[in-house]
Amino acid sequence: MAGKYILAIDQSTSASKVMLFNNKARLVSRVSLPHQQFYPQQGFVEHDAE
């Protein structure tokens, strides 16, 4: 597995998070981008896919 990486993606209700690990399971990099929730009507929640 030399030279390979593992990319983990977490799409939560408050942010999109990405973590990059090397072949020894050590964290190489991570990024978190918050996103806004919209409530068009009672009981509905939406996210802007763009």
- Predicted pLDDT at 42: 96
- For residue 19, what are the β-bridge partners? 8, 30
Q: Measured in whole angstroms, how far is the alpha carbon of residue 5 from the centre of its chain?
A: 17
- Predicted pLDDT at 14: 86
- For residue 32, what are the β-bridge partners? 17
Nearest Cα residue to 38 out of 13, 17, 18: 13
Q: Measured in whole angstroms, how far is the alpha carbon of residue 19 from the centre of its chain?
A: 8
What would the pLDDT profile of 1-50 be if each residue is shown by its tens digit? 567 999 999 988 889 999 999 999 999 999 999 988 899 999 998 887 77
- Predicted pLDDT at 2: 62
- Predicted pLDDT at 24: 92
